[in-house]
Each structure stands twice: as C-alpha cells, then as structure tokens.
Amino acid sequence: METRRRFIQKSLLGVSAATVMGTSTVRAFSGDSRTATDRFALGIAGYSFVHFDIDASLAMMKRMDVHFLCIKDFHLPLNSTAAEIAAFHQKLAASGVTGYAVGPIYMTKSKAEIDNAFEYAKRVGVKLIVGIPNKEDLPYISDKTAEYDIRYAIHNHGPEDKLYPNATSIFELVKDLDPRMGLCFDMGHNMRDGQDPAGDVKRYHKRIFDIHFKNVTAANKDGKTCELGRGVIDIPAFVKTLRKVGYDGKCSLEFEKDMKDPLAGLAESVGYFRGVSDASV
C-alpha cells in the first residue's frame, strides 16, 4: 500500500518535472498517467488556451507531455475548409496531439447552428461534440446523433446556468433519448452547484462521454477554478471512482485560473493527476 509520504513524493515529482524541466521527459520520471487497467486518458480542454494560438497551445502541451485536445473553434473555426482542417491535424500530429472532440459549441439560436455543428464535426473527423443547446431542441439533436453516428455531450455550467446547472439536470433530459446523447461532465461546476462529483459519476457514468477535469475553491457559486490538488474535490477518490465504473473517455483539464499565463497551474495539475494515478493503483 502507498504511504502518504510516497504519494506526496510522486505528486511533487510529477509537478517539478513538468514545471521545472518543461520537457517531454516528464513521463520517464512520473510514469504514464494510465495504468494497465485505466481506460481514460488525460487531455486539455481547448478553452484553457483561449488567449493563445494553436502553436503556443501545442508548445505548452508538449512541455506537459499531454496528448489529447478538445478542439475549440477559436483554434479551428466552424467554417474551416477541408484543406485548413487537414493542415490543423498535421500540426497537431507533429506535436503528438490528437484532437478527440470539438466544443463546447453554443447552439441556442436556431437549428441551423445544430446542423452546422454536426457537419463541422464530420469534416473535422471526430466522433464527439460538446454542446450547449436549448432543451426543446434535444429530440432534434438526438436524431442527428443517429444520422451522423456522432455522440453529443451537453456541458453543465453550475448554479448560474438556468439550463444545465449540474449532471442530474442533463441526465434527466437525455436518459430516454438516443444513447449517443450524454454529458460533458464539468466536475467543478457540478461541485459549485452543491453536488457530489464522484457520486454523480457512479450514477451517470454510462452517459458521461467527456469530463472537464478541474478542482474548485468552494462547493458553492463563489468557488473558483484552482490547481487540481488545491481545491475541495477529493481527486484521489474521484480517480478511483472512474476506475471502478470503467470510464473510457478523456479527463480534459479546463484551467480557468491565470488564463493569460496558465502553464504553471496546468503543469502542476498534470503532475498531481499523475501522482494520484500512480498512488491509487
């Protein structure tokens, strides 16, 4: 069994490797963030890089040795041509990164936005859209998921969100729709709404397709995003729950603190995640 001291050593080793050395040799020191039994992988939610172009974003991902990106439209616009999409994927591949999903994409003005989002995902070549739709459009979106064979994950945004504040609010709307309808589970916003992230993973894991992986400073609307090991969510318990339910999506860090200078906080979170993953096997 891992001792507390050993756990802390692993966590700090991962952090120091990412922040001080800043190279892709991190994994040689901290170990891969996935064990032989893990079906999930660490990624980055594109919104973390809202102030950076794709080249700068990929440079940060390379330093942290993270290989999966949820693509935001400020990096790859919705009207991108086939040539632009191909060039974008080539750029990602050169950095060892795979774009696994697109979004979040807001679709609250018209069904044309929904149609455009599915066509965009098809052109980009991903099988997952993270979206924020109107409730009345969910049956229409459900039909689209069947037509395109693309999963659709609704993002929850906490107590300020009148549509989808938490995981339960989404699950109750999609549970009887096409099984490709599900959740992008923002565990931080869920906690800010007074919910239990690990408990909701147990309850809804069959419909959780993506996780915006974060910690927050408080379990109320005043909570703010913070480094993964510094908040009120029990991350080791959460990771154990992911393993228990066999979650097979991505855990994409969405870091909304220091957004004009996110590398140190992201790298600390990556190191902490790897330490937790190693220590909780």
Q: What is the pLDDT of residues 172-218, one digit of tens each?
A: 999 999 999 999 999 999 999 999 999 999 999 999 999 999 999 99
Is 95 buried (19+), middle (13-18) or exposed (0-12) by CB count in 10 A?
Answer: middle
The pLDDT value recorded for residue 36 is: 52
Q: Locate all alpha helices (DSSP H) within 104-137, ordered by sequence.
A: 111-124
* 280 pLDDT tier (thresholds 50, 70, 90): low
What mean pLDDT is predicted for residues 214-226? 98
Is pLDDT above 80 for 252? yes
Q: DSSP per residue over 84-101, as a string?
A: HHHHHHHHHHHTT-EEEE
Is the pLDDT at 17 greater than 60, yes or no? no
Q: Any residues with CB less than 8 A from the CB of 236 and at least 6 apart, and which?
A: 276, 279, 280
What homologous superfamily is domain 4-279 in, according to CATH? Divalent-metal-dependent TIM barrel enzymes (3.20.20.150)
Q: What's the rounded mean pLDDT across residues 250-256?
A: 97
pLDDT tens, position by position, 46-76: 999 999 999 999 999 999 999 999 999 999 9
- Which sequence spans correspond to the domains of the chain? 4-279
Beta bridge partners of 130: 153
By mean pLDDT, which of 37-41, 177-181, 210-214, 241-245 is the weakest?
Answer: 37-41
Alpha carbon distances (Å) from 150 to 123, 176, 180: 12, 17, 7
CA dist 269 and 93 (Å) reads 24
| pLDDT at residue 238, as a whole number | 97
Residue 27 has pLDDT above 70, yes or no: no
Q: Give the closest residue to 259 by CA, choosing from 218, 233, 230, 226.
A: 226
